């Protein structure tokens, strides 16, 4: 800020004039001095400038001042001034009526040897923060004006009650500067306080911290002709602990002396001619971060950002007096042309239960005028947070006048409470004055609880007449529940009863009329990265900058105008009496419950949309819909009501869209009158938006006399383009929706076919086709393995044991029934005795795990099966012929987990509806196989034509689901599957080696189903009519391709095999690893 440099230069003039008359000074360099020093006698009884060097230490053991300025000489402390356990002590005492410069660049330490103790053994310290009193770091007192600068660039540490870091009781012609640190511990203390006037500035870009009951960080109790500028940190609290225990029992152990209430971080009770500024470095406009773009004499990278915090019930910033009027003048030009400028952060934290929090309070409690010239510029942030108490971000009390709030930063309040507490981002009391709010940032109120209220803007004065929004104005009420919330037996917030309200704008006190205007701003390339910002609606305002209002809008009895010209609005709008106007244009969209107390409302929609969520009659004067207008009505089929606009005149341009949303299921075809006009002028109504009605329904709008009506009926399965499997369940699924409001609501929020089927397919049962087909693939791998000789020649050989690891994937595409992916992994062990004529007889024991996931239902239905099977087989080699046959039987344990997961229509980061169920049931399987082949060798090469028959049978018992409720749980009747298939193929291979050998092989074949069928699936929802999904029993052939690498010796055998099989809408992949030991 350039004015700061000019002020400092002017303030330095007396110091320069004084310096011209004296160049010598008295230095104190001793580190063991115990005698006080005064400028009037510093030079062997004569007056002189005094400098305590960095090595100098004065330790004073008596009451009074350690260093005194009692003549027009300078005093500089670069060393240490200290005392211990001495009340009524002062680091530097300055007499009024002098001309001087006083600088503390070292340390002033007035402390005491006092340790906290836990006297009641409750786990926390007890007692006062300090015992001594009246300790002052720098103290200006006496008659007459002090001319010069008083600066602290070092450290001032004070421990004591009624004690102050810097106290100014005489008028100052000059500046008060703090670029160092000030820490005061004790009740009724101050960091910096002036009770007399100051012609220059008070500047604190260092730190101030006060701890104790009623202690205040920076107290401006005397007039300031310049500015009060903060560009550092100021913190005030009376708490011993500045965090709350989560467990209320632990919190209850805190004593009264742990919960003392401190004062404000900044208190202003007198006039400040050039305003209060919480500053920050300027925005960097070039690559040089070390320059001084704001011309304040400080390199920008060395500037700090103001941070003002209170932990307790006092306002973080308190401006106003209970005994006199207070005026904050303009702080400068441009962004500083306001009485209050906040470019840093202000935080107020009540922390402990029942302690209210206030960020900035303008005005006292006695109604005296507090004028903030030109209003408030908030570029930084104000935040207030309370627990079981109210929180207010910016509070104007009676007598406060701040005509404009320009907010480009953040103004917020949040409360966590089970009781009737309230959060107010902006609160204007009766008797206060604020006429305009310009918001390009965020104004936010949040209530975590069920019965309180969240209020972004509340005006009880009736003076707020204009709100311009290009940012966000929002109020949220979020239900909570935890182990300490005793209103129910669980910690599920979703079942909490919410009675509180979220209010974005409450201007009900206004009787003269208000104008609320929301527009969008094209602010250019957000990332400055030459990448176009996303602009979904193509309105010229990128998505990140779209303005919004969330929460109720409550208006008064004046003629009010709401202009929604860009962005969105979500929340109830209540127009009071008066000739009110609601305009929507610029691509804006509103979702609202609309009311007008006297029916004198004019609704005009140009290029924009309005969704009316109330299902009652809305009386209005006029309705005008442009060619690009969208108007959506809400239907409550269970109550038989719908939104109906009753207007004197209605004008609907050709191309205007009308639409419907449903609160619950519509079970019979109906007609709804949505507009009833005294005079209706209507062009062709565009039916496109009616296509955005729930996909379950088909709707059409038309005019009749002076009314607009919409016919609605359920979409047929044919119109929905359902497959035969989907269509067979349609009536049953629709009936089931009546048993679950959450699932029904998810369907009603879907306006597209894709969205509808994403949910619909999740309602259907698995047909089991993937599971059975995967079981077939496993059984075929088993039969194939037992047909292979373990060694390279026919001979009398040993018995052997073998192990085979099985993997398969069966992928079935969507068709008449849902497709699926089914994986299998298993282990087969076998023992066989080999005969002297080239034959073998063996037994097998296997365990296989299968997992089926539907592909059509995007979140999938998961069914798993554990198969335990035993079998036997026979194999014989006669010359080139290879014969084998076998069979087995096994037990299956099925487990099913089915889920319904809807989309995140409300964009809260979680699915709107999640329902899950489980089921367990039993099954049985059997298989048989027979194969024959003939192998012809050509040296080391061989070719083997072969064929095989495989029969697989599976029975599964009744599947009865539980856990999902009557609207989702299914009972699936028992099912039987069987398949007889033939496989014809040719194997090409070559053998390398004799005693230790290996064989690479390739097999090409064709498999065809000869007999058997998949089971039809008959299922029903709880209490519903059964439906049947017919199985797809097409007997398609499949081309097969397998590769293998086999190796062995007289006593061992190893094989690695893989294969693929492709048929119409079905693909199988398999892999197996075989190991065998012979003995």
Q: Write a three-state SS string for 779-845.
A: HHHHHHHHCCCCCCCCCCCCCEEEEEEEEEEEEECCCCCCCEEEEEEEEEEEEEEECCCCEEEEEEE
pLDDT band for position 62 (cuts 50, 70, 90): very high
pLDDT of residue 854: 82
Q: Return the residue matching tokens 């987990």.
A: 897
Which residue has tokens 């009340």? Answer: 87
Cα separation, 361 vs 316, in Å, equals: 8
Q: What is the pLDDT of residues 250-277, one digit of tens each?
A: 888 887 888 889 999 999 999 999 999 9
Other residues' Cβ atoms within 10 Å of the Cβ of residue 522: 11
What length does the chain have?
Answer: 1079
Evaluate if residue 1076 carries a pLDDT over 90. Answer: no
Tokens representing 184 are: 């005061």
Dihedral of alpha carbons 126, 131, 134, 138, sign: negative
What distances in angstroms separate CA 706 from CA 622, 628, 652, 677, 995, one per listed residue? Answer: 13, 21, 11, 5, 99
Q: What is the pLDDT of residue 525?
A: 61
pLDDT at residue 288, as a whole number: 65
Q: Has domain 771-1078 been given CATH number 2.40.128.130?
A: yes
What b/e sequence results for 878-899 when a residue is b if at least 16 CB atoms lie within 10 Å of its CB, and e otherwise?
A: eeeebbbbbebebebebebebb
Most confident stretch, 531-535, 768-772, 953-957, 995-999: 953-957
Burial grade of 794 (CB within 10 A; 0-12, 13-18, 19 or more): middle
Q: How confident is the model at residue 453 (pLDDT cuts 50, 70, 90)?
A: very high
The dihedral built from the CA positions of residue 521, 522, 528 and 533, taken in this order, carries a sign that is positive
- Report whether pLDDT(792) > 50: no
What is the spatial distance between Cα 907 and Cα 153, in angstroms, rounded to a whole number?
51
The DSSP H or E segment spanning 705 is: none
Q: Check residue 7 and give its pLDDT.
A: 37
Q: Which one-letter DSSP state was computed for residue 161? A: B
Over residues 183-191, mean pLDDT: 97
Predicted local confidence at residue 968, as pLDDT? 95
Residue 10: per-residue pLDDT: 40
Split at pLDDT 50, 70, 90, the class of 134 is: very high
CA-based angle 590:592:597, to the nearest 5?
125
- pLDDT band for 610, please (50, 70, 90 cuts): very high
Identify whether the C-beta of residue 921 lies closer than 8 Å to the C-beta of residue 890. no
pLDDT in tens, 342-387: 999 999 999 999 999 999 999 999 999 999 999 999 999 999 999 9
pLDDT band of residue 487 (cuts 50, 70, 90) is low
pLDDT single digits (tens) 658-703 = 888 999 999 999 999 999 999 999 887 766 656 668 899 998 888 8
What does the pLDDT average to over 903-920?
83
pLDDT of 860 reads 57
Q: What is the pLDDT of residue 1046?
A: 86
In the chain, domain spans: 265-287+314-492, 510-715, 771-1078
Hey, what are 404's tokens?
A: 């404009």
With pLDDT > 90 as the criterion, what percentage of the chain qualifies? 67
Q: Which pLDDT band holds residue 2 (cuts at 50, 70, 90)?
A: very low
* Cα→Cα distances 731→276, 301, 431, 714, 718, Å: 70, 70, 64, 11, 13
Q: pLDDT band at residue 14, thresholds of 50, 70 and 90?
A: very low
The 10 Å Cβ neighbour count of residue 19 is: 13
Question: Measured between alpha carbons, how far is 320 from 272 in angstroms, rounded to an integer?
Answer: 11
Q: Quick one: pLDDT band at residue 9, thresholds 50, 70, 90?
A: very low
Sign, CA torsion 29/35/40/45 = negative
pLDDT digits (tens, 9 = 90+) for 494-516: 766 788 999 999 999 999 999 99
- Taking all residues of the chain, what is their mean pLDDT, rounded to a whole number? 89
> Closest by alpha carbon to 853, among 768, 973, 969?
768
Instruction: Give, in order, the Cα–Cα distances in Å from 327 to each of 86, 169, 223, 744.
Output: 40, 21, 10, 60
Rounded CA separation 739/728 (Å)? 20
Handedness of CA 285, 288, 289, 290 (dihedral sign): negative
User: Is pLDDT larger for residue 905 or for residue 767?
Assistant: 767
Residue appearing with tokens 């009010």: 560
Residue 859's nearest CA partner among 758, 760, 771 is 758
* Local confidence band at 1072 (pLDDT 50, 70, 90 cut-offs): confident
What stretches of 627-748 adopt beta strand conformation (E)? Answer: 629-636, 641-642, 644-652, 657-662, 670-682, 697-704, 707-714
Give the whole-angstrom CA distance, residue 286 versus residue 305: 19
CA separation for the pair 818, 811 (Å, rounded): 11
Q: Mean pLDDT throughout 554-582? A: 96
Task: For residue 250, give the H/E element and its range.
Answer: helix 248-251
Report the candidate in 221, 351, 355, 335 with the shortest Cα–Cα distance to residue 278. 335
Q: What is the pLDDT of residue 320?
A: 97
Q: What is the mean pLDDT of residues 871-882?
A: 88
Task: Tell me what pLDDT residue 780 has.
Answer: 86
Contact 655, 681 (CB under 8 A): no
Taking only the tens place, the pLDDT of each residue in 1006-1052 is 999 999 999 999 999 988 999 999 988 777 788 989 898 988 877 77
| Residue 654, token pair as written in the block | 């050709």
SS3 913: coil
Residues 6+ apart with CB under 8 A from 283: none
Distance of CA 938 to the CA centre of its chain: 72
- If we measure between CA atoms, which residue out of 417, 552, 575, 390 comes closest to residue 474? 552
Q: Where do we find the tokens 């004690």?
A: 163
Q: Which residue has the tokens 């009519």?
A: 1025
| Dihedral (CA of 960, 962, 966, 967) sign | negative
5 pLDDT band (50/70/90 cuts)?
A: very low
pLDDT at 806: 86
Quickly count: other Cβ atoms within 10 Å of residue 604's Cβ. Answer: 18
Task: Using alpha carbons, select from 141, 150, 315, 130 the residue that is nearest to residue 216.
Answer: 315
Cα(123)–Cα(250) distance, integer angstroms: 10
Six-digit token string for 639: 């109550």
Mean pLDDT is lowest, of 91-105, 285-299, 315-329, 570-584, for: 285-299
Q: What mean pLDDT is predicted for residues 85-107?
A: 97
- According to the model, what pLDDT value does residue 531 have? 67
Q: Kindly report the pTM of this predicted structure.
A: 0.82
H or E segment to which residue 987 belongs:
strand 975-990
Percentage, residues of the chain above pLDDT 70: 91
Pairing of strands 975-990, 941-956: antiparallel
User: Residues of 437-462 as b/e, b for ≥16 C-beta within 10 angstroms?
Assistant: bbbbbbbbbbbbbbbbbbbbbbbbbb
Other C-beta atoms closer than 10 Å to the C-beta of 121 total 7
Q: ∠ CA(972), CA(975), CA(980), 5° rounding?
A: 150
| pLDDT at res. 45 | 92
| Under 8 Å between Cβ of 385 and 414 | yes
Alpha carbons 542 and 527: distance in angstroms, whole number: 12
Q: Please provide the distance, in angstroms rounded to a whole number, between the alpha carbons at the two ends of the chain.
A: 96
Q: CB-side exposure of 457: number of CA atoms within 13 Å?
A: 34
Phi and psi torsions of 936, nearest 5°:
-120, 130
């Amino acid at each position: 800020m350039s004015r700061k440099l000019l002020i400092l230069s002017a303030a330095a003039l007396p110091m320069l004039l004084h310096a011209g008359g004296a160049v010598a000074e008295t230095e104190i360099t001793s580190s063991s001095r115990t005698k006080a020093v005064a400028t009037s006698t510093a030079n062997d009884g004569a007056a002189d400038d005094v400098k305590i060097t960095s090595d100098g230490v004065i330790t004073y053991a008596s009451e009074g001042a350690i260093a005194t300025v009692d003549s027009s000489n300078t005093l500089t402390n670069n060393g240490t001034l200290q005392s211990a356990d001495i009340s009524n002590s002062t680091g530097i005492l300055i007499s009024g009526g002098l001309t001087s410069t006083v600088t503390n660049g070292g340390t002033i330490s007035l402390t005491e040897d006092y340790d906290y103790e836990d006297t009641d053994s409750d786990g926390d310290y007890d007692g006062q923060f300090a015992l001594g009193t009246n300790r002052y770091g720098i103290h200006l007192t006496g008659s007459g004006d002090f001319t010069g600068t008083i600066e602290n660039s070092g450290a001032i540490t004070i421990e004591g009650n009624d004690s102050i870091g810097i106290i100014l009781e005489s008028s100052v012609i000059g500046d008060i500067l703090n670029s160092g640190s000030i820490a005061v511990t004790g009740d009724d203390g101050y960091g910096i306080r002036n009770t007399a006037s100051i012609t220059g500035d008070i500047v604190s870009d260092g730190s101030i911290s006060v701890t104790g009951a009623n202690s205040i960080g920076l107290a401006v109790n005397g007039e300031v002709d310049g500015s009060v500028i903060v560009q550092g940190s100021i913190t005030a609290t009376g708490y011993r602990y500045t965090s709350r225990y989560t467990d209320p029992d632990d919190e209850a152990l805190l004593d009264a002396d742990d919960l003392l209430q401190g004062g404000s971080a900044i208190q202003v009770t007198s006039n400040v001619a050039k305003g209060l500024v919480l500053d920050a470095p300027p925005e960097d406009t070039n690559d040089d971060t070390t320059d001084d773009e704001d011309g304040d004499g400080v390199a920008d990278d060395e500037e700090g950002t103001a941070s003002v915090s209170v932990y307790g019930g006092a306002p973080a910033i308190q401006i106003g007096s209970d005994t006199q009027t207070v005026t904050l003048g303009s702080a400068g030009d441009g962004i500083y042309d306001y009485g209050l400028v906040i470019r840093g952060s202000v935080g107020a934290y009540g922390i402990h239960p029942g302690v209210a929090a206030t960020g900035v309070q303008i005005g006292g409690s006695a109604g005296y005028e507090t004028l903030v010239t030109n209003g408030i510029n908030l570029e930084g942030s104000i935040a207030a947070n309370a627990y079981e108490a109210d929180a207010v971000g910016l509070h104007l009390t009676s007598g406060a006048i701040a005509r404009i709030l320009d907010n480009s930063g953040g103004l917020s309040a949040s409360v966590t409470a089970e009781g009737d507490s309230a959060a107010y981002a902006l609160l204007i009391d009766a008797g206060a004055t604020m006429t305009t709010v310009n918001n390009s940032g965020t104004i936010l109120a949040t209530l975590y609880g069920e019965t309180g209220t969240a209020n972004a803007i509340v005006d009880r004065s009736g003076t707020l007449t204009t709100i311009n929004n290009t940012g966000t104005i929002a109020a949220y009420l979020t239900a909570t529940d935890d182990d300490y919330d005793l209103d129910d037996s669980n910690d599920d917030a979703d079942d909490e009863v919410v009675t509180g309200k979220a209010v974005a704008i409450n201007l009900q006190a206004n009787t003269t009329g208000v104008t609320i205007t929301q527009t969008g701003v094209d602010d250019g390339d957000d990332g400055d990265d030459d990448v176009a910002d996303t602009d979904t609606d193509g309105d010229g305002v990128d998505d990140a900058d779209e303005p919004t209002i969330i929460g109720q809008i409550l208006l008064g009895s004046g003629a009010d105008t709401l202009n929604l010209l860009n962005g969105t609005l979500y929340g109830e709008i209540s127009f009071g009496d008066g000739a009110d106007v609601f305009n929507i244009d610029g691509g804006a969209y509103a979702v609202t419950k609309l009311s007008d107390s006297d029916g004198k409302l004019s609704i005009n929609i140009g290029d924009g949309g309005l969704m009316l969520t109330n299902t009652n009659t809305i009386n209005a004067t006029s309705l005008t819909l442009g060619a690009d207008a969208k108007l959506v009505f809400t239907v409550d089929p269970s109550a038989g009501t719908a939104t109906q606009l009753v207007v004197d005149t209605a004008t609907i341009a050709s191309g205007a869209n009308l639409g419907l949303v449903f609160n619950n299921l519509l079970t019979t075809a109906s007609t709804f009158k949505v507009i009833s006009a005294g005079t209706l002028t209507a062009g062709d109504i565009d039916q496109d938006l009616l296509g955005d009605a729930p996909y379950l329904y088909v709707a059409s709008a038309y005019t009749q006399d002076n009314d607009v009506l919409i016919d609605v009926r359920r979409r047929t399965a044919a119109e929905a383009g359902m497959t035969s499997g989907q269509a067979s369940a349609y009536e049953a699924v629709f009936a089931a929706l009546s048993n679950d409001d959450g699932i029904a609501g998810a369907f009603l929020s879907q306006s597209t076919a894709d969205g509808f089927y994403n949910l619909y397919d999740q309602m259907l049962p698995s047909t089991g086709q993937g599971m059975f087909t995967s079981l077939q693939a496993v059984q075929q791998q088993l039969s194939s393995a037992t047909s292979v000789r373990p060694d390279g020649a026919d001979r009398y050989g040993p018995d052997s044991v073998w192990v085979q690891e099985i993997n398969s994937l069966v992928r079935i595409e969507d068709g008449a029934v849902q497709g699926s992916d089914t994986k299998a992994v298993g282990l087969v062990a076998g023992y066989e005795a080999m005969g002297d004529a080239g034959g073998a007889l063996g037994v097998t024991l296997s365990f296989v795990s299968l997992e089926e996931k539907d592909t059509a239902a995007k979140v999938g239905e998961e069914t798993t099966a554990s198969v335990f099977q035993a079998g036997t087989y026979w194999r014989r080699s006669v010359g080139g012929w290879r014969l084998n046959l076998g069979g087995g039987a096994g037990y299956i344990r099925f487990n099913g987990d089915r889920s319904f997961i809807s989309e995140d229509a409300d964009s809260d980061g979680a699915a709107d509806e999640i329902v899950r169920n489980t089921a367990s049931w039993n099954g049985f399987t059997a298989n048989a196989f027979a194969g024959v082949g003939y192998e012809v060798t050509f040296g080391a090469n061989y070719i083997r034509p072969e064929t095989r028959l495989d029969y697989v049978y599976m029975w599964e018992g009744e599947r009865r689901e539980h856990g999902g409720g009557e609207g989702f749980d299914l009972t699936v009747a028992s099912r039987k599957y069987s398949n007889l298939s033939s496989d014809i193929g040719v194997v090409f291979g070559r053998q390398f080696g004799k005693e230790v050998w290996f064989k690479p092989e390739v097999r090409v074949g064709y498999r065809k189903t000869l007999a058997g069928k998949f089971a039809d699936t008959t299922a029903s929802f709880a209490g519903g009519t059964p439906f049947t999904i017919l199985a797809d029993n097409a007997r398609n052939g499949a081309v097969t391709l397998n590769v293998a690498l086999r190796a062995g010796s007289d006593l061992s055998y190893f094989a690695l095999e893989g294969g693929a099989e492709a048929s119409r809408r079905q693909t199988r992949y398999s892999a197996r690893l075989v190991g065998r030991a012979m003995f």
